[in-house]
């Protein structure tokens, strides 16, 4: 999958606060595949510094770690999950249909955070995004069984099995907007801290440069019936996504603080690099603390 370059520097400074009162703060955890292993590092640093988080929004891999945060799972547990997860654990998790009943560390984290829970059972307001396979639009899920919603949000095209919710099939929540700040605003956030990992589904260069490529992909992706969640429908869905992602917007431009871990060339679809991403998350979190005024913690 193509990527767009990271911003530099890797931190967008906050806007001026509108009042002297402590704002309701949302943490938006962005999409990015294996790059999302930076999230526990950022969360750990913010928690240790006493930064108050009132609500959390997750897209794709951000939904998994966002569920941990919203469910009250200690940051140290999420950090440890990344540290003990081997590439084979990550591969088995995806090949197993994102099954939270599996025995690997990722499955255990999801099970402990969300088994048998509705969104309303969590310790703080939480929302995830997913992509409707028929319309290609990003949808927001913040009610109902939380594990089903997270499974939909982290279901990468061609890797996972689409998740059937409310009569429609859904896939990865970070395909059109990798850091959905607007969801946090709709939930009432007055200050939004977004952890951005780039664009994990930008069209490859040949699609952007060849005038015939986009119409060809649109033709290949034409859907003449409601998606069934089977592999041919996933291929058509993927073709439509590539056709629509020739000029993806830069994520989180309207966040108050945007944190960009320096993840270099690490691909979202890699099965290795979790430890590297985690350490970059720690570094980015520490850098972000300087942008948070003492009174805003």
Task: Convert 56-93 into a string of H (helix), E (strand) and C (coil).
Answer: EEEECHHHHHHHHHHCCCCHHHHHHHHHHCCHHHHHHH
3-state SS record for 156-198: CCCCCCCEEECCEEEECCCCCCCCCHHHHHHCCCCEEEEECCC
Whether the Cβ atoms of residue 79 and residue 44 lie closer than 8 Å to each other: yes
To the query of whether residue 172 is one of the catalytic residues in this protein, the response is yes
Please state whether beta strands 25-29 and 257-259 pair in parallel, antiparallel, or not at all (unpaired).
Answer: unpaired
Of these residues, 54, 172, 233, 256, which one is catalytic? 172
Sign of the dihedral defined by the CA atoms of residues 279, 280, 285, 290, in that order: positive
Pairing of strands 126-132, 138-141: antiparallel
Tokens of 16: 């001026």
Active site residue 60: yes
From the list 44, 60, 153, 245, the catalytic residue is: 60
Which residues are catalytically annotated? 60, 172
């Amino acid at each position: 999958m193509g990527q767009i370059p990271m911003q530099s520097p890797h931190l967008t400074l906050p806007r001026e606060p509108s009042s002297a009162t402590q704002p309701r703060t949302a943490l938006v955890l962005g999409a990015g595949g294996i790059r999302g292993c930076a999230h526990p590092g950022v969360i750990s640093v913010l928690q240790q510094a006493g930064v108050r988080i009132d609500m959390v929004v997750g897209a794709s891999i951000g939904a998994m770690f966002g569920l941990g945060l919203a469910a009250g799972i200690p940051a140290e547990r999420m950090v440890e999950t990344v540290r003990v997860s081997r590439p084979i654990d990550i591969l088995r998790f995806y090949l197993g249909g994102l099954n939270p009943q599996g025995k690997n560390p990722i499955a255990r984290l999801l099970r402990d955070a969300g088994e048998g829970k509705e969104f309303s059972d969590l310790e703080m307001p939480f929302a995830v995004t997913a992509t409707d396979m028929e319309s290609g639009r990003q949808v927001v899920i913040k009610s109902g069984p939380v594990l089903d919603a997270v499974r939909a949000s982290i279901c990468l095209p061609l890797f996972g099995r689409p998740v059937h919710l409310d009569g429609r099939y859904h896939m990865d929540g970070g395909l059109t907007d990798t850091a959905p700040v607007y969801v946090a605003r709709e939930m009432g956030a007055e200050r939004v801290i977004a952890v951005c990992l780039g664009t994990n589904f930008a069209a490859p260069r040949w699609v952007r440069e060849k005038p015939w490529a986009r119409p060809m992909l649109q033709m290949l992706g034409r859907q003449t019936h409601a998606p069934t969640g089977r592999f041919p429908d996933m291929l058509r869905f993927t073709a439509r996504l590539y056709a629509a992602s020739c000029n993806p917007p830069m994520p989180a431009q309207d966040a108050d603080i945007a944190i960009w871990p320096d993840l270099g060339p690490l691909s979202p679809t890699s099965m290795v690099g979790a430890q590297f991403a985690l350490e970059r998350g720690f570094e980015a979190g520490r850098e972000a603390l300087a942008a948070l005024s003492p009174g805003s913690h």
